[in-house]
Structure 1
Amino acid sequence: MISLNSLIQSLTFVLCTSFFLGTFAYAEEKLPKELRGVEVKQKLGARIDLTLPFVDHKGKERTLKSYFADNKPVLLTLNYYNCPMLCTIQLNSLVDAMKKLPKGYGKKFRVVTVSINHREDAKLAAAKRKNYLKQLKRKDIEWEFMTGKKKHIEVLSKTVGFKYRYLPKKKQYLHPAVVFFVTPDGKVSQYLGLPYVTRDVKFALVTASKGRLGSIFEKLIMSCFIYNSTDGQYTPYAYGIVRLSGVLTVIVLAIMLLLFWTRERQRVEKMT
């Protein structure tokens, strides 16, 4: 025989489930048709074809490989230069995050922005590059703005899981806002979503560099955070915080014991 409490609990579960499913279905139904399929499907570990040719801001054709020549990780963004809003918000947020990186840190990585609009040219790329470098005010950060052919843009976008859509009537692109962190050998190691935080950018660069970037202290701090692939951000990690606290406690105790031992030794030497 089913008790009254069990019946109430079951009914509550059914009602809550129905409510959330109904809300989800409503949200899906209300999502504009144009936005369906505009998303990022994370492909961690995917290898980018570094032989893909694009055109730099000077109008010179270069393969992506030329930006991975000296073991530096690459911070990659896919935008378009005539974007009326989202690209500006995204790149401004990235500028704010990179501004606060330690002095000289920019020499350890590169930033590459590729336009998803094959109609845009090097002249427009150069103008955008000049504008953002002026905002950034960091001579140590190398930031390239590129254009390319449609087929090459599509290959790159597909590899990193970046799905966008062109609206011919509005002459605009619907696209996500995400930063891809790529290892020196061309593998996607991390995705970051808006807003960009200096801490998260540093952590993602340390991961992309396979540990070559970042001081020992930064790596210890990084152990207190865990990468949330759903949000594309780093969040506090309880076990990591406890572990780091334990390590710091041991270090402090060791220093105190060393100081105590040194003082005792000096006291004994004076007595003798």
Structure 2
Amino acid sequence: MSSPARLFGHAAVMVTLVLAALPAQARLVQADLARVAVAPPPGARAPLDLAATDAMTGQAVTLGSVIAGRPVLLLPVDYTCGNVCDPMVSMAAEALAATGLAPDAYALILVGIDPRDDTAAARRMLTDTLGAPAASVKPRALIVSEAALRRLTTALGYTAVYDAGTDSFAHPAAALLLAGDGQVAQVLSPLALTGRDLRLALTEAGDGRVGGLADRLALLCYGYDAARGIYTPLVQRILTVAGIVTIAAIGLLIFGLTRLARRRAA
């Protein structure tokens, strides 16, 4: 799980992006806007038994059956949003396609945050955003009841606020990376994803089972916490050991060169 400082930083940037895109006539007051956030509690986990409807097939499913034990990018969206939801979906799909991972190694799941949206609205969004048929990455768009949505967002620490004045939602432009068991691994900005970064994140969420050895090694470069300016404990230990080994190697080299110099002098 990302540190609270990193999550706060991600959330602040993502909320700002969505709020900046809201219509000028928005009537939400500052107290309402202050509630808009994504702040998963420690050990946050999406309920796998959450009931939903697959927008493409109309079939009843559960969140767990769609995740199917894979790391997933869960993207809460407003299927009739006129702001940044469309680019969030398209950019997330492009980043997933650029990971180079097999399509069955991950999933992109959309969950509607407006209980009034139906399967037709979700299908229309996918068609308008990704084309028909969708590209190599085919998101699973889910429709959930108001009660199920409340349960999901509470578990994930995700808060959106409805603005009746503009009939729109102020919500974080956030994607939640979930491990195969539903646990929140990271909070990401779908508007700032690269294929390489996402591949590493999916590898981490998959506990090393998705990517290859090179991916797991590259993850060490991501142990630096820029928000606090320190390394995470695992990477700190690795750097400490590496430093000790380097100092020992330099000491042995100096010792060997000194003995060689004395022998030549004798």
Normalised TM-score (structure 2): 0.69
Q: Is the 8 A contact 2:91 2:193 kept in 1?
A: yes
Distance 1:111 1:136, change over 3 A: farther
Q: Given the alignment of the two structures, is residue 211 of structure 1 paired with residue 208 of structure 2, yes or no?
A: yes
Q: Of the two, which has the highest radius of gyration?
A: 1
Q: Is the 8 A contact 2:162 2:169 kept in 1?
A: yes
Give the secondary structure class of the aligned counterpart of 1:225: helix
1:32 aligns with 30
Distance 1:45 1:142, change over 3 A: farther
Select 1:146's aligned residue among 123, 127, 142. 142
Select 1:224's aligned residue among 221, 226, 240. 221
Give the secondary structure class of the aligned counterpart of 1:151: helix
Give the secondary structure class of the aligned counterpart of 2:158: coil
Larger RCO (CA within 8 A; separation ≥ 6) = 2
Q: Is the 8 A contact 2:93 2:108 kept in 1?
A: no
The amino acid of 1:160's aligned partner reads L
Distance 1:62 1:228 in 2: 38
Gaps of 5+ in 1: 1-30, 246-272
Q: Given the alignment of the two structures, is residue 165 of structure 1 paired with residue 146 of structure 2, yes or no?
A: no
Distance 1:65 1:59 in 2: 17
The amino acid of 1:148's aligned partner reads V
Q: Is the 8 A contact 1:97 1:196 kept in 2?
A: yes
The amino acid of 1:78's aligned partner reads P
Distance 1:154 1:227 in 2: 34
Deviation digits for residues 207-265 of structure 1, max 9, x if unmatched?
A: 2111101111111112111275969xxx99799999999xxxxxxxxxxxxxxxxxxxx
User: How far apart are residue 33 of structure 1 and its match?
Assistant: 3.9
Q: Is the 8 A contact 1:96 1:136 kept in 2?
A: no
1:115 aligns with 112
Q: Percent identity?
A: 25
Distance 2:227 2:110 in 1: 23
Comparing 181-190 with 40-49, greater Cα deviation is found at: 40-49
Deviation digits for residues 117-162 of structure 1, max 9, x if unmatched?
A: 00000111122223444399643x3410111111101110111111
Gaps of 5+ in 2: 1-28, 240-266
1:198 aligns with 195
